[in-house]
């Protein structure tokens, strides 16, 4: 394979000359103990790509630690079919297989599908076309969007809908189907996202999509025709538990979660400083002083932890803008203090602190919006739109294997 680094962790069988040009699309089929399903599926996929895909392509069979004859069967397919490659990995895990295959690929668009070919292959061109054109960064097949036609049992339907609903509620996911084994990504986007993905198994897809969404990547959805594989050997219970742990990890790493954690610590520090400074300074001055001290620390912590900014670039400007947000917080808390004193000229110290903390919490919402959209907003419109890739105009025989 052109541009593939040597490694002791994988064995690659490559059909065709080493100097073959890079394909536009690489389709990865991860497999584990699939000796029976593999031949018919790969031949069917090969026939479809040869007849229907107007771009140069390659098929990579990513065998992750099979214990049966999968590797032998895959090697025979690679020897027999032009454009088919075998990648062998010593460790199990679909995410691990995709990471290895995509990281080594020299293709411009990286795709994968399950070996059972449950998804109708007619959806492959609509899946990769927006990535080739530069319109989108990631594309997914979806069984849960209007226009999809799905044949599967009520148990799996309920599990799928419940899982994706959980993603919407917990992680604010805007994509409809994280689990459909039919996805594609531009190689340049994959190079940026893959190092951030920690999961090596079934949660890999979900984590990749959540990270893409958080970075503002365009995710294109293609409603698919999908037929459930009755021979599926996925352990639903263990996979569900792994997914829940993955969701919890992504939730803990979410920007809003980090901001709220910093906000709680800042509020506690603010309340303690206010109580310490109230007697010598008076309530008004103590409020301003406590807010000023915690605001500087809050802005710096959010800069580093919440928004991931390092170095001194923009530091003074961001703290100056943070000072404007600080003034708004002072006005809100001072106003709340004035209202309290208008109602009770000598309020209890605990009530005074409670009112100020409540006002500070209300100001937190405004602070988050200001930090995200103004203080730490990325200048410009983000990464430039990727260039469209030129489709192959050669014959189907020339397109095979890139």
Q: Are 197 and 208 in contact (CB under 8 A)?
A: yes
Q: What is the pLDDT of residue 356?
A: 82
d(CA 38, CA 80): 14
Name the DSSP letter for residue 108. Answer: S
Report how far apart, in Å, the C-alpha atoms of 112 and of each of 35, 61, 70, 191 are: 19, 10, 18, 16
Q: What is the pLDDT of residue 344?
A: 84
Helix and strand numbers (H, E) in the chain are 13, 10
- Token code pair at residue 173: 């996911």
Nearest C-alpha neighbor of 254 from the set 185, 171, 192: 171
Q: Are 108 and 22 in contact (CB under 8 A)?
A: yes
Q: What is the pLDDT of residue 265?
A: 87
Q: Are 7 and 67 in contact (CB under 8 A)?
A: no
Through-space distance between the first and last CA atoms of the chain, rounded to whole angstroms = 10
- H helices of 38-123, in order, are 38-52, 70-80, 94-104
Write down the catalytic residue from 205, 228, 231, 344: 205
Residue 40: Cβ within 10 Å count: 11
Nearest C-alpha neighbor of 382 from the set 212, 167, 243, 259: 212
Q: What is the pLDDT of residue 399?
A: 61
205 is catalytic: yes
- Token code pair at residue 146: 């209007």
pLDDT along the chain (402 residues), means of 10: 35 50 96 96 98 97 96 97 96 95 97 96 97 97 94 88 92 93 97 95 95 94 90 69 89 80 85 91 89 86 79 78 78 85 83 83 73 64 57 49 55
Residue 362: Cβ within 10 Å count: 14
Q: What is the pLDDT of residue 379?
A: 47
d(CA 147, CA 225): 9
Residue 388: Cβ within 10 Å count: 11
Report how far apart, in Å, the C-alpha atoms of 263 and of each of 204, 254, 269, 360, 379 are: 31, 14, 10, 10, 25
- Token code pair at residue 81: 């079919």
What does residue 25 show for φ and ψ, rounded to 5 degrees?
A: -125, 135
Question: Helix 94-104 to helix 204-214 angle, to the nearest 10 degrees?
Answer: 60
pTM: 0.72
Tokens 């430039």 appear where?
384
Give the domain ranges of the chain: 11-253, 255-375
Please list the residues that pair with 287 across neighbouring strands: none
Per CATH, the number for 11-253 is 3.90.550.10
- What lies within 8 Å, CB to CB, of 379 at 6+ separation is none
């Amino acid at each position: 394979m052109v541009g593939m680094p040597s490694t002791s962790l994988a064995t690659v069988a490559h059909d065709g000359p080493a100097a073959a040009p890079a394909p536009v699309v690489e389709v990865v089929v991860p497999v584990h103990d699939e000796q029976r399903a593999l031949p018919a599926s790969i031949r069917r996929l090969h026939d479809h790509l040869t007849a229907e895909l107007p771009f140069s392509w390659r098929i990579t069979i990513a065998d992750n630690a099979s214990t049966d004859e999968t590797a032998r069967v895959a090697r025979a397919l690679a020897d027999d079919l032009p454009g088919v490659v075998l990648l062998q990995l010593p460790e199990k895990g679909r995410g691990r297989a995709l990471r290895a295959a995509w990281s080594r690929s020299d293709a411009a668009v990286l795709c994968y599908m399950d070996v059972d070919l449950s998804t109708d292959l007619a959806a492959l061109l609509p899946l990769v076309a927006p990535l080739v054109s530069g319109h989108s960064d990631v594309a997914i097949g979806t069984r849960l969007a209007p226009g999809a036609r799905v044949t599967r049992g009520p148990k799996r339907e309920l599990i799928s809908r419940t899982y994706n609903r959980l993603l919407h509620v917990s992680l604010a996911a805007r994509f409809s189907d994280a689990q459909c084994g039919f996805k594609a990504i531009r190689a340049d986007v994959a190079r940026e996202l893959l190092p951030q993905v920690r999961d090596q198994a079934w949660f890999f897809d979900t984590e990749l999509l959540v990270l893409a969404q958080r970075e503002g990547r365009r995710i294109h959805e293609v409603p698919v025709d999908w037929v459930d594989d009755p021979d599926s050997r996925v352990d639903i219970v263990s996979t569900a538990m792994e997914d829940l742990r993955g969701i919890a990890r992504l939730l803990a790493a979410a920007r809003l979660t980090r901001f709220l954690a910093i906000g709680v610590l800042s509020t506690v520090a603010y309340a303690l400083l206010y109580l310490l400074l109230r007697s010598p300074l008076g309530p008004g001055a103590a409020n301003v002083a406590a807010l000023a001290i915690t605001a500087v620390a809050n802005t710096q912590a959010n800069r580093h932890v919440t928004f991931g900014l390092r170095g001194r670039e923009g530091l003074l400007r961001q703290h100056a803008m943070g000072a404007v947000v600080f003034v708004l917080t002072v006005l809100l808390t001072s106003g709340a203090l004035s209202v309290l004193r208008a109602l009770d000229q000598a309020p209890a110290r605990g009530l005074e602190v409670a009112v100020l903390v409540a006002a500070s919490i209300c100001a937190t919402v405004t602070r988050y919006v200001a930090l995200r959209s103004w203080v730490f907003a990325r200048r410009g419109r983000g990464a430039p739109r990727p260039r469209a890739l030129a489709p192959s105009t050669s014959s189907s025989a020339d397109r095979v294997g890139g």
